[in-house]
Structure 1
Amino acid sequence: MTATVTVEVGLGDRAYDILIGPGLIARSGAEIARRLPGVRTAIVTDRNVAAAHLDSLTEGLAAGGIESVPIVLAPGEKTKSFDALQEVVDGVLSARLERGDAVVALGGGVIGDLAGFAAGIVRRGMNFVQMPTSLLAQVDSSVGGKTGINSSRGKNLVGVFHQPRVVLADTGVLDTLPEREFRAGYAEVAKYGLIDRPEFFAWLEKNWREVFAGGAARTEAIAQSCRAKAEVVARDEFETGDRALLNLGHTFGHALEAATGYDSARLVHGEGVAIGMALAHRFSARLNLASPDDAARVEAHLAAVDLPWRMADIAGPLPDAERLLGYIAQDKKVSRGALTFILTRGIGQSFIARDVPASEVLSFLRENHPG
């Protein structure tokens, strides 16, 4: 049995732990009660995760003396909506939970973002616990306090920063993930190496098969990813500075998700990030910021783990380059109309590029558009 690893997110009196390892659902009641004694909880989850893990979590909470009420939603990206937010808010209020009680997110990034947003606004802010059940959520969305829902205008445009009190990343649940979902989460793991940890990216190139297989290598990859994100969040909680580096691949990726109507049959978030990271490296090479060899290395690794890495890998037609540029211009990373991208000078040398000319982006999109 792999030991539990603890990573701290250092935010002063709002600091919290990320616990990583197997068996944490069973220990959830004890871990939460130690931090939030006497708390009652609402468990927000989706039908797929509920079928696999809700009973175990209910039992784990009860073992620690914690009452819970479930709020079970439809699965998929389209659940990050105003309608689902209303359903969660109504469920929390109808359960008569108080401000000192907690909302527990049991699921992937969609559930974590939605439940966290609800926790941040109900009764002007309730306690929040993240229990991520996907690799993507364990290494990215569950850490750092970003919450929100999608709008018809774009992804994650409505939300708040609301930090959890603890993150319980049970690595055992990853064994139940569909292979496609695990691969999609791996894109976010690779991202941390590409941002500023070239030695981690090299380690992944050698050890990705062991990460996929499980055990100590998987726990190590998750812990390294969480340490990388925790360090950035501690420096820049509200993304006014270098936390924006965590968006490597996301500006292109979010545009592609919007362009496919958030249809998970065509593209899930991690796949969008994978294509976005490849495009960011290829765009950097086009601007003579980095070597084409680095872009080729990124593409080769993504291809090796069977992730999509070009727009042509997305099933079905895409809007033209002008429409894609429109989605990019609507992205949150835009400031006063100027296009901001995370670009790179090489593997592990990402930086924030402001005032990127829209004409360059449009030309690049035309060159790489499958149509």
Structure 2
Amino acid sequence: MELVHIQTASKKYPLFLGTDSTGVLDKLISHFTPAVSSVLIISDSIIAPLYMQEVKRSITCDNVFEFIIPSGEKEKSFENYYAAQTFALQCGLDRHSLIVALGGGVIGDLAGFVAATYMRGIRFIQIPTTLLAHDSAVGGKVAINHPLGKNMIGAFYQPEAVIYNVSFLDSLPLEEWRSGFAEVIKHALIWDASFYEWLRTEIRTLEDLRGENLIYALRKAIAVKASVVSKDETEQGIRAYLNFGHTLGHAIEAELGYGTITHGDAVAIGMLFAVFVSEYTYQKDLGFRELASWFRSYGFSTFPAHLKAEDLLIKMKQDKKANSGTIRMVLLKEIGHVEVQAVEDAIVLSLLEKFSKGEGLA
């Protein structure tokens, strides 16, 4: 098992990475001050039957409760947030209680936001169960979705620890491996050219992302996230780099309806578009065609043909990086180096129409 220290301006906390890391949970809880009075484990209908009992057995606290929501991105809603708060009150959770997020990014975001706002904030631990959650479980962004935008209601609230038991990933379907891999690629593209080259060389199919390769990829991707967050916890500057591909990706998710497309597939499309815009902006070849071919080899979704560029533009203008309605995209200057640039609506619309028709791939 490996130990990674996540350092932010507000807190330092451990991330445990390995095949049996769940075993540290009870020892962690026993050392908390003040002592933990009760534990609420929040999970979903797919993960709970697989791992809930294992996690509960590793906790010796007398008062352990579980709250389970349906699985899916659309469940990261105000209704489930409110229901979780109600359940916590009914169970008598107090300011010395602990929330454990057992699941993927949806559960981590929702449970974290419940913890951030219950009695003005109680402690929580992230136990991610997806590859995608290597990104969302680190850095303290917690939120729920709104019909007008993804993650629009939330907070910056750091966990006490992240426990990443990679054996939990064994139950993931192929599309979830692919979804999580998109964020791994993102971390390489924005920050670490050598890691990007390693991915291109070593991970030829998603089946290659197992064993030591998986641990190495997670360690490198988490290191990128940790490095960025340590410099900018609340997204006043370079933390926005982590949104590479998300401006269009989030717009696609919202326009299709949350859960219609996986987050990673949407972000993969968004990253391709960001590179497409980058080539236009910097007037240089940044490997758009090669990247698109690489993504196709993994089976990432292509641009949904029925979506209208005008509708996506409206959603992109609601992005959290937008400033007074001006779209600000994370653009690629070269592999491992990005920056945030304002892009005029007319340019975004024109390039989006070309991109949606596959121009630049011929």
Is 2:81 the counterpart of 1:85? yes
Q: Equivalences for 1:126-205 in 2 at 5 Å?
A: 126-137=122-133, 139-205=134-200
Supply the distance in 1 between the matched residues of 2:196 and 2:40 (Cα, whole angstroms). 38
Q: What corresponds to 2:281 in structure 1?
A: 287
Shift of 1:116: 0.5
Shift of 1:35: 4.0
Q: What corresponds to 1:41 in structure 2?
A: 39
Q: What corresponds to 1:55 in structure 2?
A: 53
Q: Secondary structure at the match of 2:102?
A: strand
106 and 287 in structure 1: CA distance in 2 versus 1, 3 angstrom threshold? same
Q: What corresponds to 1:103 in structure 2?
A: 99
Q: 2:72 aligns with which of 70, 76, 91?
A: 76
- TM-score when normalising by structure 2: 0.94
Supply the distance in 1 between the matched residues of 2:193 and 2:10 (Cα, whole angstroms). 32
Supply the distance in 2 between the matched residues of 1:36 and 1:105 (Cα, whole angstroms). 20
Q: Secondary structure at the match of 1:20?
A: strand
304 and 66 in structure 1: CA distance in 2 versus 1, 3 angstrom threshold? farther
Supply the distance in 1 between the matched residues of 2:33 and 2:195 (Cα, whole angstroms). 35
What amino acid is the match of 1:361?
Answer: V
Q: Please, what is the CA RMSD of the aligned residues? A: 1.7
Supply the distance in 2 between the matched residues of 1:268 and 1:82 (Cα, whole angstroms). 20
Q: Percent of aligned pairs with the same residue?
A: 35
Q: What corresponds to 1:239 in structure 2?
A: 235
Shift of 1:317: 2.7
Is 2:298 the counterpart of 1:305? yes
CA contact (8 A) 2:42 2:68 kept: yes
69 and 52 in structure 1: CA distance in 2 versus 1, 3 angstrom threshold? same
What amino acid is the match of 1:297?
Answer: E
Q: Secondary structure at the match of 2:282?
A: coil
What amino acid is the match of 2:41?
Answer: I
What amino acid is the match of 1:192?
Answer: H
Supply the distance in 2 between the matched residues of 1:278 and 1:272 (Cα, whole angstroms). 10
Supply the distance in 2 between the matched residues of 1:334 and 1:243 (Cα, whole angstroms). 14
CA contact (8 A) 2:130 2:169 kept: yes
Q: What corresponds to 2:224 in structure 1?
A: 228
Shift of 1:38: 3.0
- TM-score when normalising by structure 1: 0.92
Q: What corresponds to 2:16 in structure 1?
A: 19
Q: Secondary structure at the match of 1:25?
A: helix
What amino acid is the match of 1:248?
Answer: F
244 and 26 in structure 1: CA distance in 2 versus 1, 3 angstrom threshold? same
CA contact (8 A) 2:34 2:96 kept: no
Shift of 1:368: 2.1
Shift of 1:304: 2.3
12 and 350 in structure 1: CA distance in 2 versus 1, 3 angstrom threshold? closer
Q: Secondary structure at the match of 2:54?
A: helix
Shift of 1:325: 0.2
Q: What corresponds to 1:349 in structure 2?
A: 337
CA contact (8 A) 1:289 1:345 kept: no
Q: Secondary structure at the match of 1:98?
A: coil
Supply the distance in 2 between the matched residues of 1:207 and 1:195 (Cα, whole angstroms). 19
Q: What corresponds to 1:317 in structure 2?
A: 306
Q: Secondary structure at the match of 2:299?
A: coil
What amino acid is the match of 1:256?
Answer: I
Q: What corresponds to 2:317 in structure 1?
A: 329
Shift of 1:172: 0.5
CA contact (8 A) 1:26 1:59 kept: no
Gaps of 5+ in 1: none
Supply the distance in 1 between the matched residues of 2:158 and 2:127 (Cα, whole angstroms). 13
336 and 297 in structure 1: CA distance in 2 versus 1, 3 angstrom threshold? same
203 and 211 in structure 1: CA distance in 2 versus 1, 3 angstrom threshold? farther
Supply the distance in 1 between the matched residues of 2:182 and 2:59 (Cα, whole angstroms). 32
279 and 236 in structure 1: CA distance in 2 versus 1, 3 angstrom threshold? same
Q: 1:249 aligns with which of 223, 245, 248?
A: 245
Shift of 1:97: 1.2
Q: What corresponds to 1:273 in structure 2?
A: 267
CA contact (8 A) 1:143 1:167 kept: yes
What amino acid is the match of 2:197?
Answer: A
323 and 210 in structure 1: CA distance in 2 versus 1, 3 angstrom threshold? closer
What amino acid is the match of 2:210?
Answer: G
Q: 1:259 aligns with which of 255, 261, 270?
A: 255
CA contact (8 A) 1:249 1:278 kept: yes
Gaps of 5+ in 2: none
CA distances 1:152-200 after superposition (whole Å, capped 9, x unpaired): 1111111111100000011000111111101100000010110021110
Aligned residues: 356
Q: What corresponds to 1:214 in structure 2?
A: 210
